[in-house]
Amino acid sequence: MAEADTASRVRSTHGNPDAASLAKGRKRSLLARLRRDYPVLLLAIPGLLVLLAFQYYPLWGNIIAFQDYQPYLGIGKSLWSGFENFSVIFSGDPEFLNAVQNTLILTLIQAVIVFPAPIVVALVLHSLLSNKLRQFVQTIIYLPHFMSWVIVVAVFQQVLGGTGMINNWLRGHGYDPMHIIGNVEAFRALLTSQVLWKDTGWATILFLAVLSQIDRSLYEASAVDGAGRWRQTWHVTLPGMKPIIILLLILKLGDSLTVGFEQIILQQQAVGVDASEVLDTYVYNNGVLGGDWGVAAAVGLVKSAVALALVLSANKLAHRFGEEGVYRG
C-alpha cells in the first residue's frame, strides 16, 4: 500500500500524461523507482556479489576444458586444444571408465538401500502413539547428520577397525576379528553403512512432515471399510507419500553422478583407486593433485551437463505421470 502510494504520488508530480510526454514519463518513473528503491538494492548487493563471484563467475573457468591449461600461464596464455581433453571420455580411457562404473554402482546401491531406509523409519515413527517417545528417538537419530564426514569416518574406524570396539570384543571372546576397514571387498558395504548411519535419521524429517499432513478421515473411512493396519499403510499412507517420493527421486537422479566425495577422499588411501575412484575424486585427483587441469575440467564439465540434463528430463517425466515435480516449466 505504502509503496503504491509513494509511487503514485511521485508519478502525479510529473504532470498530465499526454501522448508526447508518455515515453519521457515512463523513463522518469523508472528513475523515480530507482530513487525510491535504491536502499533495497544496496541491501541486496553484498550477498549478490558473493553469489556472482563464487557461483556464476566460476562457470567461465570451464573454458580450460578446451585448453592445454598451464597454471603458470593462466587462462589467457594457455594454448587452445579443441576437444582433445575430452578424448578420455570419448575414447574410453580405462581409468575414466572405472570411475564411471564405480559411480554408477554406488548410485544404484544407494537408490535401492539408502533411499527407502528413511521411509521405513518414518513409517515406524509415525505409527508410534507416544509423542514423547517419537521426539526422543528423533533427537537421537538426527544427530549423526550434524557430524562431519571426517568424524563419521573416524568413528567407524574406532568401531569396526582392526583394534576397534567390535574386533576387541571378538578377540576377547575367542572369535576371529573381522577385516572391514581397508578391505577392498567390503568397501562398498562400508560406504553404504556410513551413509545410512549419517543420514537415514535426518532424511526422515521430510517424510514425517508429509505423513503428519495425511487426512485422518481417510484412515477412518478405510477402517470402516474393514482395512487393517497393513492395508491402510498400503492404500492410504503410501499414496499420500507418493509426491514427495517422486520429488526426491528426481533430485536424486540429478545427483546420480555425485556420490560420497568427501567420504571417499578420506578413505581412498586404504583401499586404492581401483575400488574407490568415482567421477568427483577423478576430477580432484587428476586436476588439483595430478596437474592435468584441462582433462579434469572436461570431465567435470560433461558431468555437470549430464546432471543438469538428467534433472530436467526427470522433471518432464514426472509431469507426464501427472506429478508436480520440482518446478513447472
Partner 1 sequence: MTSAKSHRTMVGGMPMPGLTERVVKAVFLTIICAAVVFPFIGVISTSLAPAEEVTKAGGFVLFPTHGIDFTAYRSILSGGTVTQALLISGFVTVVGTAIALVLTCTLGWALSRRGTIGNRPLLLLVLISLLFNPGLIPSYLVVQQFGLLDSLWAVIVPVSVSAFNVIVVRAYFVGLPAEIIDAARIDGASEWKLFRHIGLPLSKAVIAVIGLFYGVGYWNSFFNALLYLNDSSKWPLQLVLRTYVVNGVELGGQDLGLGSEAVPPQTSIQMAILMISIVPVLCVYPFIQRHFAKGVLTGAVKG
| Stretch of residues binding partner 1 (CB under 8 A), selected from 15-23, 89-97, 146-154, 317-325 | 146-154
Hey, what long-range contacts does 111-114 have (CB within 8 A, 24 or more apart)?
111/252, 111/256, 113/192, 113/196, 114/192, 114/195, 114/196, 114/199, 114/200
Q: Is 39 in the site for partner 1 (CB under 8 A)?
A: yes
Which part of the chain contacts partner 1 (CB under 8 A), choosing from 81-89, 107-115, 134-142, 316-324? 134-142
> How many Cβ atoms from other residues are within 10 Å of residue 115's Cβ?
14
Site for partner 1 in 306-325 (CB under 8 A): 307-308, 311
Using rule CB under 8 A, residue 245 touches partner 1: no
Q: Is 174 in the site for partner 1 (CB under 8 A)?
A: no
Task: Please give the residues from 262 up to 291 whose contact with partner 1 meets the rule CB under 8 A.
Answer: 262, 265-267, 269, 280, 283-284, 287-288
Shortest CB 151 distance to partner 1, Å: 6
Neighbour tally for 217: CB within 10 Å:
8
Q: Report the run of H or E that residue 238 belongs to, with start and end.
A: helix 238-254
- DSSP 8-state symbol, 228: -
* Cell, residue 271: 583401499
Record the cell numbers describing residue 25, joined without a space: 514519463
Q: Is 129 in the site for partner 1 (CB under 8 A)?
A: yes
**148 is an interface residue for partner 1 by CB under 8 A:** yes
Does residue number 2 form part of the binding site for partner 1 (CB under 8 A)? yes
Q: What angle do CA 296, 300, 306 make, to 5 degrees?
A: 145
- Min dist CB 319 to partner 1, Å, is 17
Pick 102 or 285: Cβ nearer partner 1: 285
- Asked if 280 and 94 count as a contact pair (C-beta separation under 8 A), the reply is no
Neighbouring-strand partners of residue 68: 79
Please say which residue, 19 or 36, places its beta carbon nearer to partner 1. Answer: 36
By CB under 8 A, tell whether 54 contacts partner 1: yes
Q: Residue 228, interface with partner 1 (CB under 8 A)?
A: yes
Residue 167's contacts (CB-CB under 8 Å, 6 or more residues apart) are 160, 161, 177, 178
List binders of partner 1 among 65-104 (CB under 8 A): 71, 75
The smaller minimum CB distance to partner 1, of residues 108 and 150, is found at 150
Nearest to 144 by CA among 259, 249, 263, 230: 263
Stretch that binds partner 1, among 13-21, 82-90, 105-113, 261-269 (CB under 8 A): 261-269
